[in-house]
Structure 1
Amino acid sequence: MRIIPIASGKGGVGKSMVAANLAVAFAQAGQHVILADLDLGASNLHLVIGYQAPQLGIGTFLNDPRSDFSKVVANTDIPNLKFIPGDMEIPGTANLKTNQRQALVKRLLSLNADILILDLGAGTHQSILDFFLLSGQGIIVSAPTVTATLNAYVFLKNTIFRIMYTAFAKETKAYNYLEKLRKEGSGLQRLYLPKMLQEIKKIDAKSYNKFKAHVDRLHPRLIMNMVQDPKDADIATKIRRSCEIYLDLKIEHLGVIYRDSIQDTSLASRMPVTIYKPQAVISQAIYRIAEKILQSDEDHFTLTDEEINETFQEATVEAEIDFENKMEYVEELMHSGALSQGDLIETVKTQQIEISKLKKENNFLKYTLSNAMQKGFKP
């Protein structure tokens, strides 16, 4: 069973939309798919796939781990697709205890399917990181905003630290070194990771090698969502560069997805956009990404630098092509009368407001980072 965890550094980047529509695309390709809502603090994935309000969910199982887990795996109206609802109404569901997390992982890994998609919560809670690490090919969804890209990088950095604490047994020199840094208040997030690892390699080669074996199996994939202009696709390169320089981590680019108001319409209609309008630019981008995943080798997925470069170059070309298709689609709507001049003006006004907000957000982050750099902050 291929496991595909889908995460994001922050909310609001369309992670659940990507998870739901990839599940549909895989199911339509003949794969037996199970889609699990593990955003346990804000479970709403059922709305994206048009599933009725769930009576049972993961919260039901967590309250009674000895219960029959198969009862929370529900059929959907979409052929080949089953769904595991989350549960945000049961208190404490988002903050799983270790035994609850282990019991849930055991049940998930025992499921019978070709593909298991895990829609994870936003942020870097330990449970989220552990679910993400169930596969070496987890997907990070980001948007071309400063906060979204920064949080995507921070998510991956926290993933590396999670691997460290998993690999370093307690009372080893490597573990004590990390704890010393943490207790001294230097802040692990502010430390230059390659330099830390060099020190750990010197003082505890055995723990370092164990960590390296774990991290070498990590090959995350990036999807840049909510793109509005082909230039937005270039922002993915910044995430790549930061990961390679500061984390010594290589990421693969699966592609870009343009922002499209049709997604709001499909959500209001309680239908995934790939079913609501399969020929839309956003739907075609989903299908393209799904095909790339299906064609990849899940067992031998280490890519060379040249192959990674090709994924980024391909995403840039796809962004240009999709933008042209999107403009042609807008022209067709205007000529057919489905989109009036007033609608277009209102859309432009809305985008101008969003751009203004992003500029303010960008200026604030520049000011914050400038102050941090003056105090000796390192990414």
Structure 2
Amino acid sequence: MQSRPESPIAVAADRAEPERDTQVIAVSSGKGGVGKTNVVANLAVALSQAGKRVLVLDADLGLGNLDVLLGLVPRYTIEHVLAGARRLDEILIEGPAGIQVLPAGSGVQALTGLTESQQLLIHEQLEQIAAGADILLVDTGAGISPLVTFFASSAHETIVVLSPEPTSLTDAYALIKVLARQYRERRFKVLVNQVKHRREAADVFRKLDAAADRFLHVALDYVGCIPHDDYVPLAVMQQRAVADLFPEAPASRAFAALARQVIQWPRPGIPKSSVQLLWRRLVQAG
């Protein structure tokens, strides 16, 4: 019995599929106010200073502020892409240390709930421009909205950022729970921000790790901590990354150490999830 021949469109899609050399890392948090976007900005700068080509997607659509944090003034944002007025590669702007930034819209409520076709549009165009980067950092929104979990589940690695506050720990657990139960994620990186000392960070991680292991059966990898540092708000006031403005500050040294660690993570050989890939081929075949 002969096997059914593959669709010519599916075959073409297979051949056109680019090699996945870009490491896609989503940075998420269960709640706002833990310094997630600041982590993204400074990790991007630190990675670029270490010689990596870095692309940053501000995926906090509707409330994006990465450009403000870095003192950038984008002419176009993802809002224009979704409206069909621009492509993603046309809204790219250069940030400190040569990083490339894809700015999100701000104050646009419609962007907070993308349709499936809009998600597909972003995914396809992002694949194309990310091919020129070593690392793509995705600054997701805070919380457990479908948009946050979409970006987090599409990445090769997810860094969950939390602070020593009890509410931050509870909300980080809630985010991990959603990603584990709805998207079958089984491993997460954890970064504790704004800590007084390393022991405090270790205690926070142990609490989260114990709960995640007991009730969710997932593995958490501790990737370190960023200390509370008076140089950070000084840099924020000047709309600069602390790693760029004050490279010898304690927080800057911690970001440099985190960047060195990220560089050592295994490179992706194949797409992490075949769901979006399958969906795209079905759309193309239709």
TM-score range, shorter chain: 0.7 to 0.9
Maintained 8 Å contact 2:79/2:104: yes
* 1:133 maps to 2:156: no
Q: Look up the equivalent residue of 1:221 and give its one-letter code.
A: K
Maintained 8 Å contact 1:34/1:117: yes
Q: Look up the equivalent residue of 2:92 and give its one-letter code.
A: V
**Equivalent residue, structure 1, for 2:71:** 50
**Residues 47/157 of structure 1: CA separation in 2 closer, same or farther (3 Å cut):** same
Alignment of 1:227-376 (within 5 A): 227-233=195-201, 234-299=203-268
Deviation of 1:41 (Å): 2.9
Maintained 8 Å contact 1:73/1:82: yes
**Equivalent residue, structure 2, for 1:110:** 128
Paired-residue identity, %: 27
Deviation of 1:299 (Å): 3.7
Deviation digits for residues 135-173 of structure 1, max 9, x if unmatched? 24210000011100110010000112321xxxxxxxxxx
Q: Look up the equivalent residue of 1:151 and give its one-letter code.
A: D
**Equivalent residue, structure 1, for 2:82:** 62
* 1:78 maps to 2:97: yes
Deviation digits for residues 257-285 of structure 1, max 9, x if unmatched? 11112111101111100011111111111
**Distance (Å, rounded) in 1 between the aligned partners of 2:239 and 2:229:** 16
Q: Look up the equivalent residue of 1:58 and give its one-letter code.
A: I
**Residues 93/146 of structure 1: CA separation in 2 closer, same or farther (3 Å cut):** same
Deviation of 1:246 (Å): 0.6
**Equivalent residue, structure 2, for 1:304:** none
* 1:5 maps to 2:23: no
Q: Look up the equivalent residue of 2:173 and give its one-letter code.
A: Y
Q: Which has the higher helix share?
A: 1
Q: Look up the equivalent residue of 2:37 and give its one-letter code.
A: S
Q: Secondary structure at the match of 2:267?
A: coil
* 1:30 maps to 2:51: yes
Deviation of 1:62 (Å): 1.1
**Equivalent residue, structure 1, for 2:194:** 226
What are the ranges of 5 or more consecutive residues in structure 1 without an aligned counterpart? 164-213, 301-379
Deviation digits for residues 277-322 of structure 1, max 9, x if unmatched? 111111111110110110121348xxxxxxxxxxxxxxxxxxxxxx
Q: Name the structure, 1 or 2, with higher relative contact order (CA <8 Å, separation 6+).
A: 2
Please provide the CA RMSD for this pair.
1.5
Q: Secondary structure at the match of 1:138?
A: strand
Deviation digits for residues 188-245 of structure 1, max 9, x if unmatched? xxxxxxxxxxxxxxxxxxxxxxxxxx54xx4210000011244421111111111111
Deviation of 1:97 (Å): 1.3
**Distance (Å, rounded) in 1 between the aligned partners of 2:180 and 2:121:** 24
Maintained 8 Å contact 1:47/1:267: no
Q: Secondary structure at the match of 1:51?
A: coil
Maintained 8 Å contact 2:164/2:194: yes
Maintained 8 Å contact 2:55/2:133: yes
What are the ranges of 5 or more consecutive residues in structure 2 without an aligned counterpart? 1-21, 270-286
Between structure 1 and structure 2, the one with the greater Rg is 1
Q: Look up the equivalent residue of 1:120 and give its one-letter code.
A: T
**Equivalent residue, structure 1, for 2:280:** none
Deviation digits for residues 339-367 of structure 1, max 9, x if unmatched? xxxxxxxxxxxxxxxxxxxxxxxxxxxxx
Q: Which has the higher strand share?
A: 2
Q: How many correspondences in the alignment?
A: 245
Maintained 8 Å contact 2:97/2:244: no
**Distance (Å, rounded) in 2 between the aligned partners of 1:21 and 1:220:** 20
Q: Secondary structure at the match of 1:30?
A: coil
Question: Which TM-score applies when normalising by structure 2?
Answer: 0.82
Maintained 8 Å contact 2:162/2:191: yes
**Residues 274/77 of structure 1: CA separation in 2 closer, same or farther (3 Å cut):** closer
Deviation of 1:77 (Å): 4.6
Deviation of 1:88 (Å): 1.6
Q: Look up the equivalent residue of 2:75 and give its one-letter code.
A: Q
Maintained 8 Å contact 1:50/1:272: no
